[in-house]
Amino acid sequence: MSENYYDIYIKLLQRYGAQSWWPADTPFEMLIGSILVQNTSWRNVEKAMEQLKPFLSPEQIEKLTQEELARLIRPSGFFNVKAKRIKAFIAWFRLYDYEVENLKKRDREEIRNELLGINGIGRETADVMLLYAFDKPIFVVDAYARRIFYRLGNDMPVSYDGFRFILEKELPLDLLLMNEYHALLVEHAKVHCKSNPICNGCPLFDLCARRLE
Ligand code: SF4
């Protein structure tokens, strides 16, 4: 069993290399992508983004009706709900003149609380926004992180923030490290620690309890 979260990070980094996330051309595209990816695969986000691309600025999305927006993002699934969420997010973003730089200057917890107050923005979505658009170091807890740490043998808290606090206590609160750690866990969950894990050749094999039940 391993509780050395830094060792895990280093082993993943050595195996997979820097991931340099988030996969987006602009911070605004990243922000919209973080809503589109809720409950769907990245492949579907890419299809929706392709259709949305000609309208990909806060001003243009604001001009679209919710129905028009929903039609454009249809490939991402739950498109009516997501259109409503994107509209709510844009209304909040307007308070900051649609400038990511204005948010970077603010305190992490203040922005997080505001994001969590927006309809449909939960902890995971808020935290990827904080990490990948607003340059705030934070540990993102997702289903992949839960799966990997459980299998490694670490008994993590059930609550989102309880899980996050443990990682943030044990690791340097460094933007690049947090950025890479989340991306590397996603990569590891896709390459080795899949639903049916491929333990042979896994970079974490020596640290892992292989708790698969
Ligand atoms: S050894 Fe297997 S269960 Fe453990 S992290 Fe690697 S792939 Fe996952």
Cβ atoms of residues 135 and 111 within 8 Å:
no
Q: How big is the chain, counted in residues? A: 213
Confidence of residue 2 (pLDDT cuts 50, 70, 90): very low
Confidence of residue 123 (pLDDT cuts 50, 70, 90): very high
Percentage of residues in the chain having pLDDT higher than 90: 97
Which atom of ligand 1 is closest in space to residue 198's alpha carbon? 7
Give pLDDT tens digits for 38-63.
Answer: 999 999 999 999 999 999 999 999 99
Which atom of ligand 1 is closest in space to residue 211's alpha carbon? 3
Burial (CB count within 10 angstroms: exposed 0-12, middle 13-18, buried 19+), residue 11: buried
Domain architecture of the chain: domains with CATH? 5-20+140-207 (1.10.1670.10), 27-132 (1.10.340.30)
Which protein residues touch ligand 1 with a CB less than 6 Å away?
148, 151-152, 192-193, 197-199, 202, 204-205, 208, 210
pLDDT above 60: residue 1: no
CA torsion 189-150-166-136 (nearest 10°) is: 20
Mutate which of 205, 207, 212 to test ligand 1's pocket (most atoms within 8 Å of Cβ)? 205
Residue of 99, 98, 101, 164 lying closest to 137 (CA atoms): 164
Question: How many whole angstroms separate alpha carbon 119 and alpha carbon 88?
Answer: 7
Give pLDDT tens digits for 76-93.
Answer: 999 999 999 999 999 999
Cβ atoms of residues 79 and 73 within 8 Å:
yes
**Model-wide pTM > 0.85:** yes
Percentage of residues in the chain having pLDDT higher than 70: 99
- Mean pLDDT over residues 197-202, rounded? 98
